[in-house]
């Protein structure tokens, strides 16, 4: 039996946002409420130089193997597909290369507050001066996500004026 | 509500050369990002046609990279400067079948270079159907807020019943979640 909401329920709810006032190598969304179905992160950023990739960790989990990922990348001349794993999830920018002009990434985390399943993550990264990717990943934990840490694995810095926003999706 | 419908445009009888949101600069300034969703079919005599975007009336200073798949092993990655932001169905595709494209523009009011992301597909009841993801950078000599968005086709015109919808997205806080 479908559920009809009357009156309609507001969805795509803004949870947190930041516009960087100083450079930083990482940032963390914390105290994420469990009252939504999915999460969406929208990032619009640049890096301080040749960078590796932005990576994500959930709830401080650094367990090796808990972040399997598969992606396809277009560099503007070649198309590649590959996989990754490790102690964090690689999300933005699969090629080490210049990211000093505007980059953007959208991360969708499905059923983030569920406690009976691993978490599926879909990522679209657009770097017009570097590469473009579509990616699927999994956080191998049944814990609800309460924190999301974003950082660059090469130690590069996000720049003043970069924006990172988190939204909750009702369902 | 963080996603708000701003404007919906539908192409009427006879088709149209383009769809334009001309009053972007007039919309309330409390939106952070813009989202454009296009459903379209081109008159071009092909299985697919490219969607071109113009910002503030210009297709200059637009660079893109794309990754596409053609359903029959064709596809790959390419780059360009012609304003191409997606692919949709064209005249040689299955009748009455439209492609679609979603274009996300963060921080459209900023005075920095604009990074744009797009996903698109040309539907076809045959092997040759395309899916494409795009990254675009708008970086003119003087970076200004986006005040208008125009979509047209690289090879033809938009047919009747093509449509585009503009949404505004507002970032903010729920008072509980923090970021640092």
Which residue from B2, B65, B107 is facing A167, i.e. has the nearest CB?
B2
Q: Which of B76, B133, B178 sits opposite A134 (nearest CB)?
A: B133
Which of B104, B135, B176 lies closest to A31 in CB terms?
Answer: B176
The edge-to-edge listing of strands for the beta sheet with A38-45 is: A13-19, A163-169, A38-45, A103-110, A119-127, A132-139, A69-74, A79-84
pLDDT at B125: 83
H or E element in which residue A127 lies: strand A119-127
Question: Shortest CB distance from B77 goes to which of A12, A44, A76?
Answer: A76
pLDDT of residue A97: 65
Rounded Cα–Cα distance for residues B160 and B143 (Å)? 35
Q: Give the pLDDT score at A102.
A: 81
Q: Which residue of B has its CA nearest to A16?
A: B173
Note the pLDDT tens digit of each residue in A105-157. Answer: 999 999 999 999 999 999 999 987 778 999 999 999 999 999 999 998 888 89
Q: pLDDT digits over A24-74, tens only?
A: 999 999 999 999 999 999 999 988 777 668 999 999 999 999 999 999 999
Q: Which site among A18, A44, A100, A127 would you substitute to test the B interface, given the most B Cβ atoms closer than 10 Å to its Cβ?
A: A44
Q: B25-35: buried (b, 16+ CB within 10 Å) or exposed (e) per residue? A: eebeeebbbbb
CB contact under 8 A, A132 and B77: yes
Q: What is the ipTM of this complex?
A: 0.91
- Summarised one tens digit per residue, pLDDT across range B64-121 is 999 999 877 667 999 999 999 999 999 999 999 999 999 999 999 999 999 999 999 9
Q: Tell me the CA distances in angstroms from B6 to B23, B32, B101, one per residue in order.
A: 10, 13, 17
CA torsion sign for A133, B165, B129, B87 is: negative
Q: How many residues would you count in chain A?
A: 171
Residue B49, min C-alpha distance to chain A (Å): 19
- Tens of pLDDT, residue by residue over B14-65, are 999 999 998 777 766 679 999 999 999 999 999 999 999 999 999 999 999 9
B67–A79 CB contact, under 8 Å: yes
Size of interface A-B (CB pairs under 8 A): 153
The helix/strand/coil state of B26 is helix
């Amino acid at each position: 039996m479908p559920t009809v909401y009357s009156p309609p329920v507001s969805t795509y709810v803004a949870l947190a946002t930041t516009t960087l006032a100083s450079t930083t190598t990482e940032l963390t969304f914390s105290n994420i409420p469990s009252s939504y179905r999915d999460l969406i992160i929208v990032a619009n950023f640049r890096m301080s130089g040749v960078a590796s990739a932005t990576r994500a960790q959930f709830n401080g989990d650094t367990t090796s193997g808990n972040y399997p990922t598969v992606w396809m990348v277009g560099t503007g001349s070649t198309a590649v597909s590959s996989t990754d794993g490790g102690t964090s999830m690689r999300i933005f920018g699969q090629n080490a290369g210049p990211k000093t002009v505007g980059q953007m990434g959208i991360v969708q985390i499905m059923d983030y507050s569920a406690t009976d399943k691993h978490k599926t993550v879909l990522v679209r990264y657009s770097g017009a001066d570097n590469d473009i990717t579509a990616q699927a990943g999994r956080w191998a934990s049944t814990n609800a996500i309460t924190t999301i840490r974003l950082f660059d694995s090469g130690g590069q810095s996000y720049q003043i004026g970069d924006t990172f926003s988190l939204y909750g999706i009702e369902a | 509500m963080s996603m708000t419908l701003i404007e919906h445009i539908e192409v009427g009888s006879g088709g149209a050369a383009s769809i334009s949101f001309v009053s972007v600069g007039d919309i309330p300034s409390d939106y952070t990002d813009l989202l454009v969703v296009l459903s379209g079919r081109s008159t071009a005599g092909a299985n697919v046609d490219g969607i071109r975007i113009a910002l503030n009336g210009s297709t200059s200073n637009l660079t893109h990279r794309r990754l596409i798949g053609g359903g029959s092993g064709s596809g790959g990655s390419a780059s360009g400067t012609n304003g191409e932001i997606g692919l949709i169905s064209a005249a040689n595709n299955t009748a009455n079948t439209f492609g679609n494209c979603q274009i996300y523009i963060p921080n459209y009011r900023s005075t920095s270079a604009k990074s744009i992301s797009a996903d698109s597909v040309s539907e076809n009841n045959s092997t040759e159907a395309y899916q494409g993801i795009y990254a675009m950078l708008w970086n003119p000599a003087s970076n200004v807020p986006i005040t208008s968005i125009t979509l047209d086709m690289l090879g033809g015109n938009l047919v009747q019943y093509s449509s585009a919808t503009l949404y505004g997205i507002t970032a903010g806080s729920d008072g509980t979640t923090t970021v640092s």
